[in-house]
Amino acid sequence: MKNNAEQAAAEGAFGPGGARIGGAGTAAAAQRAERTGKRRALYGKLLPPVIAFIVFIGGWELIVKLIGTPAYIFPKPSDIAIAAAENFDKLMASVWTTMVEAVLGFLLSIVLGVGGAILLASNRYIEKAIYPYAVILQTIPIVAIAPIIVIWFGAGANAIVIISFLIGFFPMLSNTLIGLHSTDANMLNLFHLYNAGPVQTMWRLRIPAALPYIVAGLKISCTLAVVGAIVGEYIAGIGGGKGGLGYAITIAASQLQTAFLFAAGLSASLLGIGLFLLVNYLSGLLLSSWHESEMKK
């Protein structure tokens, strides 16, 4: 009986020709199945937008070519690509200028937005006194106060950075303030029980707990900073080789260079997307180990 059981076990563990079915073979098969599943999930995620993009661009090219619309009215994707290639150096110089202005305005909105929220959250009386004016500042159209900013700071990069900062400031302030006020009450009571001071409670509990809200503010503010930089360039931009995308768009529109205007607008969009993806990557680094919004299922 014992020999028969051992023989059956051996036959179950090995297939024809001595190939092992269980153990390492099963683990390898599971790994292959997992890799196949990941590839299928990746294809399922990428293929629909890629196919939609190809259909959209192909349809745009075909319809405009069949209608025969002049390029200065409505250019084809091929016209936009040619205009971008012919003016590549000028386009990249404009992208770089706008990127620097947007990043500086974005960083300024982070520092003053988070710092201001910490100050307001530290004292309810200060918050009640100052926060309404932050709301009022947000409701004023930026084009209405942009000329004043130009008068105060002069035309050029300084005014553009200030305008970019003003557009991205309120989302940082508001989101951070909401996060600081959303700290778990039981944790606050625990810190109070251990005689933690206001500064310790703020830095060791309230700010870490507010990180998801701060990250949400970053995702909003980074794209608004690009919009603010381009709006600032419309009003306070510098000409010549130092002009940003807003200035390039203005000149292209005045000269009916519609294809290059499209190329500059798409470059601005890609710049905003790039900043958003960078912030999204940093969000994963900060939150993926503990917060449900970034944890992998």
pLDDT, one tens digit per residue, over 101-139 is 999 999 999 999 999 999 999 998 999 999 999 888 888
Are the beta carbons of 104 and 161 closer than 8 angstroms?
A: yes
pLDDT, one tens digit per residue, over 6-58 is 454 444 444 444 444 455 568 777 777 777 777 787 777 788 888 999 999 99
For the chain, the structural domain boundaries read: 2-67, 77-287
Question: Distance from CA of residue 280 to its chain's centroid?
Answer: 6
pTM: 0.82
The token pair at 62 is 């075909």
pLDDT score of 219: 94
Are the beta carbons of 236 and 255 closer than 8 angstroms?
A: no
Using the structure block, give the residue that is written with the tokens 């947007």. Answer: 102
SS3 string, 257-270, reads CHHHHHHHHHHHHH
Q: Where are the beta strands (DSSP E) in 89-134?
A: none
73: which DSSP letter?
Answer: T
pLDDT score of 2: 45
**Mean pLDDT confidence for 194-200:** 90
CATH topology (fold) of 77-287: MetI-like fold (1.10.3720)
